[in-house]
Amino acid sequence: MCGIIGYIGNKEIIPVLLKGLRCLEYRGYDSTGIAIHKGENLNVVKSVGKLSNLEEVLKKEHLLNGANGKNGKNGKSGHVSCGIGHTRWATHGEPSDINAHPHFDSDEKIAVVHNGIIRNYQEVRDSLIQKGYKFATETDTEVVVQLISYNFKETNSILKSIFKSVNELEGSYALGILFKQEPDKIYAVRREAPLVIGIGSGENYLASDSATVSQFVEKIIRLEDNEIAEISKENINFYNLKGEILKKEIQTVTRSKDILDKRGFKHYLAKEINEQAEVVSNLLKDFLPSHEKPIQFNHLKLTPDFLKTIDRILILACGTAYHAGLVGKYVFENLTSIPTEVQFASEYLNSKPLLTEKSLVIGISQSGETADTLAAVKKAISKGATFVGITNKQDSALADLAKEHLLISKAGLEVSVAATKTFLAQMTVLYMLAIYIAETIDSSNPKKLSLVKQELRLIPQLIDQTLTRQEHYQKQVLQYANNPDFVFIGRGINYPIALEAALKLKELSYIHASGYASGEMKHGPIAVLDTKVPVVSIIVPGETYDRVFQNSLEAKSRQAPMIAVAVDGDKKVESIFDTILRIPPITELISPFLTVIPLQFLSYYIAEHLGRDVDQPRNLAKSVTVE
């Protein structure tokens, strides 16, 4: 959540910062701002709302000319362009012009952008107020810049003031810092929040993720926790919090030229839903090229001896990744018979870990930077458990924790805040991991595993067939767009899909929605049903079919509008459901790959019909980097 961009070099500074901020929009934000060296001074411009609002302010202040984003020279001839930019997602203080980043110190000699949370900000703020400092904002970030200002006056050294300040701050943060007296340097700090430096020729960049800097350069250096960088256009110096010089390795990334390409779709979300067959296909090609061969996780350093002695599996995740984990629970227990538990990472932080050296912990995070998940995983690892990470980002904090136990979901960049293709990618990896473990620990039923692998190999084709029905789904679901509440129900492996569908509708349309195990409806939730509350039942042939059908009858008797996600050829559902969203025939164990797709479209089309910001829903961030 939030995004940082920085640049130092000879290019025109404002267009570079704006381009970087556009690449960071997908992370979610409610205000934007930039700080640049302009001659002898620091100049801060910021605005609440979308990036276009900031561009209008820049035009009014004659810092930006025309739609092409070009601006005049900054400061004196030959002056190095140096600046930082930020997209803010509010945590302390409401979204407003004054609370937007960057923040000045009282003397306007230091400007700071910040991602993360300063946990002891109130104590530091009170201390600075006693020393005569006045605060203009409600943010924890202003505490950072005022503290640096105070320590700079005490030490008369930029680096010492940063070292001293970050050692006094508690929390998670990534910082970009400009000093008035250093017009050709940017300072950066990382503690439990992502920060990447892009290395160019006679220029360098700073950003919250590699995808943003890859728009400009191919070489990067990732800051690790508790590291500080001093960046000029020709050199970068790295330090730890003691001020000791560090050596860092340069990495190469694929240069992304089409990060903002919607490929003809109206929204990134529509594009990403339609990419799901390709995503699953790419994973299968890499790890399951044939149903006759074992899963090929050769890079996954888990010994057969360990796999055969696993006493339990714990899956830690948040949001949509948590729902993928719930699907994974059913698959692991079905294929491996290993007891599997799924916990919200945020709740696990307050629990007493019941783990041993024989336990396998799986952490799932789309971005690899989810703060709750990272903290929970570290807690689990401290108890001696073996950790496997599943993420979409190979250069992430989760990937660093996993090391040789890492599975990349390979979904490609997901721009829309609401996760879709990364959800299917996470599920695919979990299915294959379950098969991988099952093939290692028990060879007594190879036919069952072979059949599951055959079905997985067919999934891309079946997803493609489902995607061809999106116009039909649109016509079917728009009649429900004005209902104020929805209820989604499912059983067994499709209960997590009911939860995911409810989450998507809330995220995208702002309509209240709840997901339930269908058997729980009669234990309380059925009280909310009436003619204005549609019930969406996920009902596919298998062990749970008859029970879901009976639970749906109970909902219909309360006069609720009834919607089904059901397979082709199922005539029985026509007797009680008003609307049927059909999918190709599929076995129950594999069905989540298809049942989720019409429900993704349901949320998308209703949100679009209601005029919502589909790709950047209010109050949400793509990468949740604060606990």
Phi, psi angles (nearest 5°) of residue 289: -70, -20
Which amino acid makes up residue 301? K
Strands (E), 70-120: 81-88, 103-104, 110-118
Which two tokens mark 436?
A: 């991988």
Return the SS3 of 266: coil
- Look at strands 579-583 and 562-567 and give their pairing: parallel
Q: Dihedrals φ, ψ of 306, to 5°?
A: -70, -50
Spot the catalytic one: 19, 38, 233, 622.
Answer: 622
CA dihedral 241, 149, 28, 625 (to 10 degrees): 30
C-alpha angle with apex 236: 231 to 238, nearest 5 degrees? 100
Whether 395 and 253 have beta carbons less than 8 Å apart is answered as yes
Q: How far is CA 546 from CA 387, 510, 549, 551, 552, in A?
A: 38, 32, 5, 9, 10
Q: Are 544 and 498 in contact (CB under 8 A)?
A: no
Active-site residue identified among 2, 23, 82, 318: 2
CB atoms within 10 A of CB 247: 5
3-state helix, strand, coil in the chain (%, to 5): 40, 25, 40
Task: Measure CA 372 to chain center.
Answer: 12
Contact residues for 557 (Cβ-Cβ < 8 A; gap 6+): none
* Element containing residue 19 per DSSP (H, E): helix 13-24
- Contacts from 160-164 at CB under 8 Å and sequence distance 24+? 160/243, 162/187, 162/189, 162/228, 163/228, 163/239, 163/241, 163/242, 163/243
Pairing status of strand 312-317 against strand 359-365: parallel
Task: Decide if 242 is catalytic.
Answer: no
β-bridge partners, 190: 174, 227
The DSSP call for residue 271 is H
Supply 270's token pair: 């529509």
Decide if 71 contacts 89 (C-beta within 8 A): no
Per the annotation, the verdict on 2 as an active-site residue is: yes
Backbone angles phi, psi at 487, to 5 degrees: -125, 130
Contact (CB, 8 A) for 592 and 327:
yes
Query: Three-class SS of residue 140?
Result: coil
- Picking from 498, 542, 541, the residue whose alpha carbon sits closest to that of residue 519 is 498
Closest CA to 348 of 392, 382, 301: 382
Residues designated as active site: 2, 622
